[in-house]
Every structure is written in structure tokens, then in C-alpha cells.
């Protein structure tokens, strides 16, 4: 599944662990020119070195800062002359019942899960419209399709990602740009570690221990979407562990 991947410049946010790290490894092994963004620059640099990426392929990036996301994308263009794909992957999942009033957690989810995706779109679109090609991959969640008690704000941000992505899909048709929403279920990542309520964290940790599938499953889904011929636009993929009911 390396058709139409080799040689592509791919920017990945949240690339220091979990889904982003697995995707970086998978696409780099398939011949993509990956450029990595995340807050933990030491982990990014270690990954970049391991994958044998060119100097400057690991960029410290806080997706809540539009200027930093723009710098990440612009650096990819400086290194490789273009951007073919952006994977807006960075995310947080601090679940809690609304009655607990975890306003700081709500704000963080909106800033990272929603604004971070918008900032990625804003950074990539000028380059992609100019070159009249590109692919924007936005990460939603099963929670963007089904809300559960304790996940209302997280589900709202992930539903918003799907809505924005569908609007984007229609707007970019004149520029030959493709869009994909990836909505994973329980996949091994550090998402459960962002939960600040101890009882909720314990429940989610148990759920992930029982059901979560390897992060490479997400990487393979992304590779499937971006490996399609240019005339094929895979707009949405929803996947879960086979054993996951919710």
C-alpha cells in the first residue's frame, strides 16, 4: 500500500506519541517525506533521528497557537518544496461529567481538538490551493458519531471536526484538494492520560486495556486514504476494535 505515498510531503501534528508517531513511522517506511510537529521536541527529535529524516524535520509545535502551526507547514514547504498531506492529529480527551464543571478541561479540548484542526487547515490551504493539489486528513473519533455520558464536550469537538471537514470538502473542489475524516475507536495512545478525574481515568484505562488495538491500525487507515489515485477522494473512515461495542 505504498502507491501514491512515496515522495509525498506529509505534515503530522501530535507526532511525538500514539497515533501520530505510528503514522510517521508507517509513512516514512513507505517513502513519504514526513515533517513532525508536537510540543515535546526531545521526543520528536529522537523520532526524526531514528527515521533518518533531514535536519529540520522535527518542529516544536503547540497547535493552540496558529503561528506555530503555520511555521510547521511553512518549514515543510521550505524543506521539500511543497506540502501534499497534512494530518491534523493532535488531540486531548479529558472526559468528565458536565456537572463537575471542569471548565479548564473544556477549554483545552476546544483549543486543541477544534482550533488546532482549524489552524492546520488555515496553514495548509494557501499552499495547496496554489499548487492545486493536496490532501487534508482530520482526526475525529467514534465520539464524533456517538456521545456517551461523561464525553459530551469531547464528542462536541469531534463532531465539529466532522462538520468542518465536510464544509471544507465542498469548498476545495476547484483546487483538486482531497479531504478525509478518520474516526477511530479505542486505539492505543496517550489520550486516556489527559483525563484529570481519577474515577473517570480508571474506568477509561480499564476500557482501553481490554479493547484498544495498536496505533499502527490508525496509521494503516491513513495510508489507505492517501494512497488512492488522485481521482479517488476517501472522505470518511470510521473504525473500531472488533470487540468494541460502543
Per residue in 178-195, pLDDT tens?
999 999 998 888 777 788
pLDDT at 155 over 80: yes
Kindly report, residue by residue over 202-244, the tens digit of the pLDDT.
878 877 878 889 999 999 999 999 999 999 999 999 999 988 8
Question: Mean pLDDT throughout 155-169?
Answer: 98
pLDDT at 11 over 90: yes
Return d(Cα 27, Cα 117) in angstroms, integer. 20
Protein fold of 9-239: Rossmann fold (3.40.50)
Known catalytic residue at 211: no
Active-site hit among 154, 175, 208, 211: 154
Kindly report, residue by residue over 119-144, the tens digit of the pLDDT.
999 999 999 999 999 999 999 999 99
pLDDT at 89 over 90: yes
Which pLDDT score, from 0 to 100, does residue 209 have? 79
Q: What percent of the chain has pLDDT above 90? A: 84
Other CB atoms within 10 Å distance of the CB of residue 141: 27
Which pLDDT score, from 0 to 100, does residue 214 have? 92
Which pLDDT score, from 0 to 100, does residue 31 have? 97
Which pLDDT score, from 0 to 100, does residue 105 have? 94
Which residue do the cell numbers 472488533 mark? 242
Which pLDDT score, from 0 to 100, does residue 199 have? 82
What lies within 8 Å, CB to CB, of 212 at 6+ separation is 186, 187, 188, 241
Which pLDDT score, from 0 to 100, does residue 194 have? 83
pLDDT at 1 over 70: no
pTM assigned to the model: 0.94
The β-bridge partners of 177 are 134
Average pLDDT of the chain is 94
Which pLDDT score, from 0 to 100, does residue 193 have? 73
CB contact at 8 A, 61 and 11: no
pLDDT at 15 over 70: yes
Return d(Cα 185, Cα 23) in angstroms, integer. 16
CB contact at 8 A, 155 and 143: yes
Return d(Cα 152, Cα 144) in angstroms, integer. 10
Which pLDDT score, from 0 to 100, does residue 244 have? 84
Return d(Cα 98, Cα 141) in angstroms, integer. 20
Which pLDDT score, from 0 to 100, does residue 211 have? 86
What nine digits make up the cell of 157?
469537538
What does the DSSP assignment read for the chain? --TTTTT-EEEEESTTSHHHHHHHHHHHHTT-EEEEEES-HHHHHHHHHHHTPPTT-EEE--TTSHHHHHHHHHHHHHHHS---EEEE---------GGG--HHHHHHHIIIIIIHHHHHHHHHHHHHHHHT-EEEEEE--GGGT---TT-HHHHHHHHHHHHHHHHHHHHTGGGTEEEEEEEE-SBSSSGGGG---HHHHHHHHHHHHHHPBPTHHHHHHHHHHHTS-TT----EEEE--TT---
Angle, helices 152-171/116-131, rounded to nearest 10 degrees: 10
Which pLDDT score, from 0 to 100, does residue 2 have? 61
Kindly report, residue by residue over 53-87, the tens digit of the pLDDT.
999 999 999 999 999 999 999 999 999 999 999 99
Amino acid at each position: 500500500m505504498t502507491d501514491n505515498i512515496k515522495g509525498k510531503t506529509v505534515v503530522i501534528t501530535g507526532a511525538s506519541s500514539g497515533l501520530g508517531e505510528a503514522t510517521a513511522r508507517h509513512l516514512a517506511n513507505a517513502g513519504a517525506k514526513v515533517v513532525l510537529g508536537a510540543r515535546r521536541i526531545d521526543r520528536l527529535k529522537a523520532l526524526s533521528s531514528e527515521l533518518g529524516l533531514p535536519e529540520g524535520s522535527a518542529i516544536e509545535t503547540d497547535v493552540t497557537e496558529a503561528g506555530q502551526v503555520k511555521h510547521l507547514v511553512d518549514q515543510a514547504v521550505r524543506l521539500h518544496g511543497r506540502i501534499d498531506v497534512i494530518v491534523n492529529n493532535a488531540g486531548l480527551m479529558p472526559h468528565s461529567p458536565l456537572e463537575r464543571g471542569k471548565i479548564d478541561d473544556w477549554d483545552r479540548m476546544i483549543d486543541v481538538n477544534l482550533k488546532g484542526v482549524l489552524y492546520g487547515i488555515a496553514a495548509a490551504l494557501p499552499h495547496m490551493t496554489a499548487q492545486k493539489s493536496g490532501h487534508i486528513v482530520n482526526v475525529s473519533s467514534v465520539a464524533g458519531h456517538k456521545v456517551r455520558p461523561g464525553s459530551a464536550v469531547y464528542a462536541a469537538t469531534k463532531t465539529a471536526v466532522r462538520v468542518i471537514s465536510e464544509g471544507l470538502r465542498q469548498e476545495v473542489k476547484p483546487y483538486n484538494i482531497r479531504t478525509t475524516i478518520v474516526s477511530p475507536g479505542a486505539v492505543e495512545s496517550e489520550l486516556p492520560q489527559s483525563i484529570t478525574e481519577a474515577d473517570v481515568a480508571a474506568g477509561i484505562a480499564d476500557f482501553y486495556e481490554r479493547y484498544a488495538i495498536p496505533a499502527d491500525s490508525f496509521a494503516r487507515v491513513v495510508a489507505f486514504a492517501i494512497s488512492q489515485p488522485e481521482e479517488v477522494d476517501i472522505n470518511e473512515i470510521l473504525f473500531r476494535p472488533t470487540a468494541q461495542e460502543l
